[in-house]
Structure 1
Amino acid sequence: MLSKRSLVGVRWNFHTLAVLFFMLIGIQAFAADPAVDSSDEAVAAGKAVFNANCKTCHKLDQKLVGPALRGVSDRREIPWIKSFIKNSQALIASGDKTANDLYKEFNNTAMPAHEFLSDDDLNNLLSYIEFGDKVDPAAAAAVEGGAEGASAAGGGIPNEYLTVILAVLVVVLLLILVVLGLIISVLTKYLNKQELDEDDKEFVTQKFNLGKVFKSDGFIIIVTALVVAVVAKTAIDGLYSVGVQQGYAPTQPIAYSHKLHAGTLEIECQYCHTGVEIGRSANIPSPNICMNCHTHVQNVQGKEGISPEIQKIYDAVDNNTPIEWVRVHNLPDLAYFNHSQHVKVGGIECQTCHGPIQEMEVVGQHSALTMGWCIDCHRQTEIATEGNAYYDKLVQIHVDSKDALKVKDIGGLECAKCHY
């Protein structure tokens, strides 16, 4: 015989499944990949993020230092992609198979953490990766072949399949909710015809009260906790951004193009920045260094062919006045950084910190240059010891270690190295 207990069980299951239904609807909405937006605004914003943080090591349709990125949102799940971009080393350390396979495939090359990127930045980045710039057909074919191998290696369920699976689950759950609703209706009608005491009758005839849910202590506690968490997260993010000038690209007194000089003309950085291999500072070039080349340019073109920007260099030389360049990269006075130690001894390329400088019309700060960013680099960067006698004794001492000799092994994490 049906009883009050039976109705309680059915109602409880109905409410539980209803909650699961709406949660699944939310998951389904997420699975539609709102992160990947084909709008021009999202793609343009994503290109800026890509150029500032990814371009040195990645191309959209070809392998570079890292893998080609086009189609990554089809090969991987969006939350996984965002976790990998923000802190790939943490994902690798967690034992994630896909992350470790990528790490080994690309010669254990560690990707810098990008914790400073917001969720909107990551969404725009993914939009640019999927819809930005035209695809070279040959490169796209190569990437497509690589994508199949990546999926076979366990890169996650493709988004199309995941959407179909979730859609089927939503339909099934909707049917179950309809069936349970009918069962509750039939049970209620049946029990109303029986002789019930007052308590049972009150329970059978009761109606769901949404107002009581909103006024309940549990609901208030959950909402308060969420508000506090959001406020705390916003405050912490704000504190971490203090003093970080990543992306800062001031207007200079002369529109000097690194893209033309370092890129097209392939002039070495060291030619203009003379102190980079011999001292702490790289030095800002004086007008006299500019004139080493532009004297000959003037002789060929004549004064009439000189642009107004180059004329400013001649005026500075003629008037014996310095060019007031605006400093782009600023470290706090409490931090010590030596260019020669990194460039001459360590063999670090300028692009490692300054980004694709040979592609910049206007120079901007590419990296975060925070203490965490430097420490992370020291933990991951292997020492270029081959052919460098400076490290011979250190290599000999480190020979029994299983890991490669890294900056952290030679004092790179000691406070006094940078804070003197």
Structure 2
Amino acid sequence: MTPKISLTRVLFFVFFTSILSFPFISSAQDEIPTEEARISEGESLFKGNCASCHKVHEKLVGPALKDVYDRAPSIDWIVNFVWNSQKVIASGDEYANALWDEYKPTQMTAFPTFSRDQILSILAYVKVETEAGPAVAQVATDATTGAVSAGDAIPSFYLNTIMIGLVVVLVLILVVLILITTVLRKYLNQKGDLEADDAEIINSTFSLEGLVRSKPFIFLVTFIFAAVVFKVTINQLFAVGVQIGYAPKQPIAFSHEIHAGQYEIDCQYCHTGVRKSKSANIPSPNICMNCHSAIKTESPEIQKIYAAIENDKPIEWIRVHNLPDLAYFNHSQHVEVGNIECQTCHGPVEEMEVIGQHSLLTMGWCIDCHRNTEVNTKDNAYYDNLVELHDASSKEALKVEDIGGLECSKCHY
């Protein structure tokens, strides 16, 4: 006789099985970190290594990375693809080969030195950008731009209006003074009780020849001339070695406006030494070829890079930012330790078609920066004792000058 199974028992079995299996069900997103530090790390890694070929919401050289953690077969697949995409494609992976068919012959650069945690941090940043959406990012950018432009300087239109208004006021004051003088002269002449000397002074007429021959006028003209000559001489002496605005024509017409501005390629992707050495490094041709082996290959400027590689000759770039041999400057100390943005010294390079010197780069300019820049001591135990000693004697924030930023030997051998 077949035992009867009630509907209640069936429902209980299904419910119990679901409860048991629930803890073991997880999505790919569960492995992606959500800590702010990891997201910040991912942003830095993305902008320094991925942004030259990928955007989150738009296709660039490679596919848009929006929802990549859901579209890819698994997190492990993404990690292996980042480590060596060609190895994954060669293994016959269906998803990888579909990407290769769409984007070939462009090959994704392999990043075997990335740890799994670093790749997960990049995915954390991509997830945040994915959830924010392109509209939010654009609004934030516009708002930031507006704030900067509104706060940095008064528009020239208002300055011109103020200057014109001041000139008009001065002219009106001069007219009023002339009218007052004329009225007073008439009044005193009509009164008729003036002495001869006073009447001569009141009724004296203006003589240009007499003014030019007068000793006060000669002294004033001589003084102004000497002051102008002195000022021009001093300005010229201070301008020796200052190349602000210097923008030489380079052997290859490279546009920072296109690369750093339009495509948002991070500076350190090309200038690889900026965070780890004294020099920022001029990018070698193979860095250019990471993209231009597949993009704009027909461009005459790109052909110059091919010619340099084939002839085994370096590209003779012209140095733009020059410091005297007696001055020492370390990029890694300022960029990596001081967290100084490239634009602080080099100006808005993302807007420059031809790169030029933006700042003075003089000794006084550097000293002013050291006097005004606060040291970022947060989460850095190296500064704990210095901060404690400084706070004991001063209520102001710790500045670069307080940690030896004005010592001669810091910058001069």
How does the TM-score come out when normalised to structure 1?
A: 0.57
Aligned-partner SS, 2:147: coil
Q: Are the equivalent residues in 2 in contact too, given 1:60–1:68 (CA < 8 A)?
A: no
**1:62 aligned to 2:146?**
yes
Q: Measure the CA separation in 1 of the matches of 2:153 and 2:177.
A: 36
Summarize the alignment of residues 157-306 of structure 1 with structure 2, pairs less than 5 Å apart: 169-186=173-190, 209-297=207-295, 306=298
Q: Measure the CA separation in 2 of the matches of 1:329 and 1:224.
A: 41
Q: Measure the CA separation in 2 of the matches of 1:215 and 1:258.
A: 60
- Decide whether aligned partners of structure 1 residues 361 and 403 sit closer, same or farther in structure 2, where only a CA change above 3 A counts: same
Q: Which residue of 2 aligns with 1:419?
A: 412
Alpha-carbon distance, 1:253 to partner: 0.5
Query: Which letter maps to 2:220?
Result: I
Alpha-carbon distance, 1:70 to partner: 5.4
**1:392 aligned to 2:384?**
yes
Aligned-partner SS, 2:293: helix
Query: Which letter maps to 2:185?
Result: G
Unaligned runs of 5+ in 2: 1-141
- Decide whether aligned partners of structure 1 residues 363 and 61 sit closer, same or farther in structure 2, where only a CA change above 3 A counts: closer
Q: Are the equivalent residues in 2 in contact too, given 1:257–1:361 (CA < 8 A)?
A: yes
- Decide whether aligned partners of structure 1 residues 213 and 60 sit closer, same or farther in structure 2, where only a CA change above 3 A counts: farther
Q: Provide the aligned C-alpha RMSD in A.
A: 3.3
Q: Which residue of 1 aligns with 2:306?
A: 314
Summarize the alignment of residues 344-355 of structure 1 with structure 2, pairs less than 5 Å apart: 344-355=336-347
Query: Which letter maps to 2:179?
Result: L
Alpha-carbon distance, 1:203 to partner: 7.6
Q: Which residue of 2 aligns with 1:329?
A: 321
Q: Are the equivalent residues in 1 in contact too, given 2:185–2:203 (CA < 8 A)?
A: no
Aligned-partner SS, 1:377: helix
**1:407 aligned to 2:405?**
no
Alpha-carbon distance, 1:341 to partner: 0.7
Q: Which residue of 1 aligns with 2:373?
A: 381
Q: Which residue of 2 aligns with 1:372?
A: 364
Q: Are the equivalent residues in 1 in contact too, given 2:370–2:399 (CA < 8 A)?
A: yes
Q: Are the equivalent residues in 1 in contact too, given 2:345–2:359 (CA < 8 A)?
A: yes
Alpha-carbon distance, 1:216 to partner: 2.4
Alpha-carbon distance, 1:213 to partner: 3.1
Q: Which residue of 2 aligns with 1:21?
A: none
Task: Work out the percentage of aligned pairs sharing the same amino acid.
Answer: 58
- Decide whether aligned partners of structure 1 residues 372 and 181 sit closer, same or farther in structure 2, where only a CA change above 3 A counts: same
Cα deviation per residue 1:190-241 (whole Å; 9 max; x = unaligned)?
A: 669xxx8xx8998899766543332222221111111100110111111111
- Using CA pairs below 8 Å that are at least 6 residues apart, which structure has the higher relative contact order? 1
Q: Are the equivalent residues in 2 in contact too, given 1:357–1:363 (CA < 8 A)?
A: yes
Q: Please say which structure displays the higher CA radius of gyration.
A: 2
Q: Measure the CA separation in 1 of the matches of 2:298 and 2:204.
A: 89
Q: Measure the CA separation in 2 of the matches of 1:60 and 1:278.
A: 30
Alpha-carbon distance, 1:293 to partner: 2.1
Alpha-carbon distance, 1:261 to partner: 1.4
Unaligned runs of 5+ in 1: 1-57, 75-125, 131-157
Q: Are the equivalent residues in 1 in contact too, given 2:188–2:194 (CA < 8 A)?
A: no
Query: Which letter maps to 1:254?
Result: I
Query: Which letter maps to 1:310?
Result: I
Q: Are the equivalent residues in 2 in contact too, given 1:61–1:70 (CA < 8 A)?
A: no
Q: Are the equivalent residues in 1 in contact too, given 2:374–2:397 (CA < 8 A)?
A: yes
Aligned-partner SS, 2:277: coil
- Decide whether aligned partners of structure 1 residues 289 and 382 sit closer, same or farther in structure 2, where only a CA change above 3 A counts: same
- Decide whether aligned partners of structure 1 residues 279 and 60 sit closer, same or farther in structure 2, where only a CA change above 3 A counts: closer
